Amino acid sequence: MKRKPAKRTRIIELTPEIVGSMDQETLVSLVMKLYEQNKQLSEHLQAFMQEKYGAKTEKHEDPNQLKILPQADGEATDAEQAESVSKDIPVKKPGHTRNPMPSHVQHEKKRREPTPEELVCKCGTHRVKINEVLRNSRFECVPMQVYVEDIIDAVWQCPQCSDTLIVAADVLEPIANGLAGPRLLCQIAQERWLKHVPYYRQEQAFARLGLNISRSTICGWMAAVALLLRCIYDQMKVELLKSRVIATDDTPVKVQDRTKKHNIKRGHEWIFMGDAEHPVNLFHHTEGRGRAGPMKFIPGFKGFLQGDCFSGNRALCAETGATFVACRAHDRRYYKKALANNKQLCNEMLDMYTELFEVEQTARDLQLSKEDVVLMRQQDSQPILNKMKSWLDKHVVSALPSSSLGKAITYSLNNWEALNNYLFDGELRIDNNLCEQQMKMFATGRKNWYFFGSDEAGEHASIMLSIFSTCLRNGVEPGAYLLDVLQQLTVNPNCDVEMLIPHRWKQKTASAEMPVVNNTPKAVFA
Q: Report yes or no: 283 and 240 within 8 Å, Cβ to Cβ.
A: no
| Closest to 334 in 3D by CA, of 246, 271, 415 | 415
The torsion angle over the Cα atoms of residues 488, 493, 497 and 501, rounded to 10 degrees, is 50
3-state secondary structure string, 405-428?
Answer: HHHHHHHHHHCHHHHCHHHHCCCC
Question: Does the pLDDT value for residue 9 go beyond 50?
Answer: no
Residue 152 or 513, more confident = 152
Alpha carbon distance 419, 406 (integer Å): 18
Mean pLDDT of 274-289: 91
User: Which tens digits make up the pLDDT trace of 358-388?
Assistant: 999 999 999 999 999 999 999 999 999 999 9
Does residue 237 carry a pLDDT above 90?
yes
**Residue 486: count of CB within 10 angstroms of its CB:** 22
- 167-192 residue pLDDT tens: 887 777 888 888 888 999 999 999 99
**65-95 pLDDT, tens digit each:** 666 655 544 455 555 555 554 445 555 566 6
Mean pLDDT check: name the lowest of 40-54, 170-184, 212-226, 321-335.
40-54
Mean of the pLDDT values across residues 205-219?
Answer: 91
Domain ranges of the chain: 182-236+457-525, 328-429
Confirm if 505 and 499 have CB atoms less than 8 A apart: yes
In this predicted structure, what is the pLDDT of residue 399? Answer: 86
More confident residue, 79 or 270: 270
**If DSSP states are collapsed to H, E and C, what string results for 85-137?**
CCCCCCCCCCCCCCCCCCCCCCCCCCCCCCCHHHHECCCCCECCCCCCCCCCC
- pLDDT > 80? residue 484: yes
Q: What is the pLDDT of residues 89-114, one digit of tens each?
A: 555 566 667 778 887 788 888 888 88
Amino acid symbol at 118: E
Decide: helix, strand or coil at residue 432. coil
Whether the pLDDT of residue 514 is over 60: the answer is: no
Say which range, 37-41, 56-60, 125-129, 221-225, has the weakest mean pLDDT. 56-60
Across the chain, what does the average pLDDT equal? 83
Write out pLDDT tens, residues 427-452: 999 999 999 889 888 888 888 888 88
DSSP code at position 379: I
Going by C-alpha positions, the residue among 483, 469, 467 that lies closest to residue 515 is 483
Evaluate whether 269 touches 449 at the Cβ level (below 8 Å).
no
Classify the C-alpha dihedral 508-187-228-301 as positive or negative.
Answer: positive
Q: What pLDDT sits at residue 203?
A: 94
Q: What is the pLDDT of residue 524?
A: 41
DSSP string, 212-250: ---HHHHHHHHHHHHHHTHHHHHHHHHHHTT-SEEEEEE
Q: Give the mean pLDDT of 4-18.
A: 58
